[in-house]
Structure 1
């Protein structure tokens, strides 16, 4: 754990663009050379609200992808849903706005050393980091299949982009407004068998991550999930993002999502105890 956040830095970063994509905002932010140290699964902590804001805590956002640009330098992409006061403020920041950020933070997804069959499972806009991950896995020669799910069509983020990034894409909505009707977890057991899946990478609601763990538990499939817990500081100080996780000997500890995660081995997370006092 000593190496976590060793590349992180607090910088003032310029907003390159802010585009509305369905219900969400796609923000491109110039982070210079720090883009080279960002990995799929990392997140950024942003000071929101402006200098006179009462919102003293930073907000954590998953990094969708990073890229190098000869004009603006290294950039990162964020997909933000304008739900709370902090995210609404961020979504209102236009081109040229300056943000106070700390990046990159947290653990990243583990990348196979050899080509394997992988399945990406995303829920709502939480699926955004999987697109950058797909690019990395493709470069490693992995076969990449993807499942995207949400309650309704408008909450599926960039389905066409997902289709271009993977070998196959299946979409599930609970109301049947896009793709097939049902929960995104329903086809997973069958796909594990049909595609000989070795690793599942997942981002989305905790209930979805827990359901995937139930499917993979007792199998040889590795489940790497990016947990969704509120991170007030993002650097392991405040202890607000803890959740129960077992070690190899079965001992359960309350680990910090921002330092020990957000990417974790789903088989060690004690899903039935999340949100409870041990």
Structure 2
């Protein structure tokens, strides 16, 4: 449960008895979610999960922001935008979802099954894991990569789109369900960057500071002399976030810049499905030379 639109819908449908009651909900905390996500998660737990008798577990592999800036910590890299020394664009490899989302979820699932790592999970012992993927992103539905987890996608079974989920949540007074992703996720669209800047000055200062701090890449790599082959940025324009063109781009400007319609939509709205462990857009995006090299 990322506490975004689709996973909030699944939890609520279960709590309301429209879907069977789940045994548990698991929130993988990267330590750098927007304040609105933590507030929404608190509300879901208090008003939806607890009355229905559904325990919500919060698991973590650490604080992704602090780890990225700590030269003594092995950091799982974000999909940062890179500007090579010769001007070529690229991206670093995305490892963050695996490290900060999938890994702690798997650890908790094994604990709940009674077979914590490194104990072997016996054949035929598994959890049915519900993943919040709606019809507009059905192509992202996939199986888990371990036999003790079997993914199911109830929203697809219901034929529900993201719009259906929003209507349902709105009818229950949960219209303000936020998009679930790290505060400084490079997959944010301009609308999300503007929202942070215009509604939460402290969070905006935080991401601007982080963007400047990662300009030369991973802190541990820099400390060991394995510097990034270029400069790293949070915004796809590959300029400092404080200077990035995040305000609305008109149709004329899009035409002048020759931005395709799909690219323009993603530039403005970001990746629709956020950072679900089994549906993150980054799964298919960047090919790299190594942890700190450039995308090809």
Q: TM-score, normalised by structure 2?
A: 0.29
More helix by proportion, 1 or 2?
Answer: 2
Tell me which structure has the larger Cα radius of gyration: 2
